Structure 1
Amino acid sequence: MSGIDIRHPHSLPLPKARKAIEEVAEKLAERFDFEWHWDGDTLHFNRSGVDGRIALSPKDLHVTAKLGFLVAMFKDSIEQEIRRVLDERFN
């Protein structure tokens, strides 16, 4: 099973960072048909072949995802889109 592991620093107050993560989740949901929900300070997202999370801490975000066989073929484009959206919202 292939995976994604991205750490991205941020300097936003936690409520603003949480709002920005929700905006990231909404964009990814539109593009890749994900469903998502919060569990504490971790946003979980999934769809068939993808199980991922974005853990929020005071100084960074940690994005992890397990990709099933078919979705793994698109790993590079998924990871590139995640990085692009994180840069857009957190830089």
Structure 2
Amino acid sequence: MADIQIQREHTLGLAEARKIAFKWAEQAEEKFDMECTYEEGKTEDLVSFTRSGVSGTLTVTKDRFELEARLGFLLGAFKDRIEEEIVKNLDTLIAKKPAPKKADAKKKPATK
């Protein structure tokens, strides 16, 4: 079996890292048909993911993401491509800066 291990340091803090991990899990479910479970903890969160031929975890802390995946025999042949896609997706999510907060605008009543 092929293993994938990815670590990314960050300075986001746990609250922002949690948002990114949750978004990553949503994308994994939608794009790769993964079944993901998200467990929040006091100092770290754990995203477990699985589908036929792959299983793993994404551990999230205030300063690091750590992904470990185990690929089955058939997917092991595509290890490099799978790892590249995971890295690209995670790095893209980490790189996105939160939009600056705008002052709350009052809604105008609808006109007919």
Indicate whether the TM-score tops 0.5.
yes
Question: Relative contact order, CA 8 A, sep 6+: which one is greater?
Answer: 1
SS of corresponding position for 1:11: coil
Distance 1:22 1:76 in 2: 24
Give the unaligned 5+ runs of structure 1.
Answer: none
Give me the identity figure in percent: 40
Give, in angstroms, the shift of residue 80 of structure 1.
0.9
**Whose strand proportion is higher, 1 or 2?**
1
Matches within 5 A, 1:1-20: 1-20=1-20
Q: In proportion to residue count, which structure has more helix?
A: 1
In structure 2, the residue matched to 1:61 is 65
User: Which structure would you say has the larger Rg?
Assistant: 2
Give aligned pairs, total.
Answer: 91
Single out whichever of 1-10 and 74-83 deviates more from structure 2: 74-83
- Which 5+ residue runs of structure 2 have no aligned equivalent? 96-112
Structure 1 segments of 4+ aligned residues over 6 angstroms from their partners: none
3-state SS of paired residue (2:17): helix
Root mean square deviation, CA, Å: 1.2
State TM-score, norm by structure 2: 0.75
After TM superposition, the score normalised by the length of structure 1 is: 0.90
